[in-house]
Amino acid sequence: MLRLGFGLRLVGAGPGAPVSARLPSGAEMPKRAGATTKGKDPSKGPERSPPPAGPVAVDAKGCVTIAIHAKPGSRQNAVTDLTTDAVSVAIAAPPSEGEANAELCRYLCKVLGLRKSDVVLDKGGKSREKMVKLLASTTPEEILEKLKKEAEKK
């Protein structure tokens, strides 16, 4: 057995046999200077944020998001229902070639009092379940209040 630097030993059966380096039993590899565990505490489980309490939430980047259940092909644009899962919105545009998505963004701009560039369809371009991101600086409480007022109009 030949001793190497850093507490390593060469272990082999004899001349010509494969040789491997091993640490003494119970020893650990030395840590690199400045090495981290990437912000995770190994004693804790996976870090998860609590699910949003309603259809309006704030994402990781600080933008307000709205979960929408779209109903394209309606007679007129309207907020029809507010549930804990999503805001139901009737859209007066057919669900073809993105017309309903564009109309949804236009309608939300009008209802929320935002610019068209501040309302972006984030997810669900071909689905009725959509996620709309608001790029303007606003709070989820303000948005929820405006949506509730609009839902009461019907």
Structure confidence by residue, pLDDT tens digits, 87-97? 999 999 999 98
Domains of the chain, earliest start first: 56-153 (3.30.1200.10)
Structure confidence by residue, pLDDT tens digits, 12-33? 555 665 555 566 666 666 677 7
**Using N-to-C axis directions, what is the helix angle for 99-112 and 140-153, rounded to 10°?**
100
CA atoms within 13 A on the CB side of 117: 0
Structure confidence by residue, pLDDT tens digits, 101-145? 999 999 999 999 999 999 999 999 999 999 999 999 899 999 999
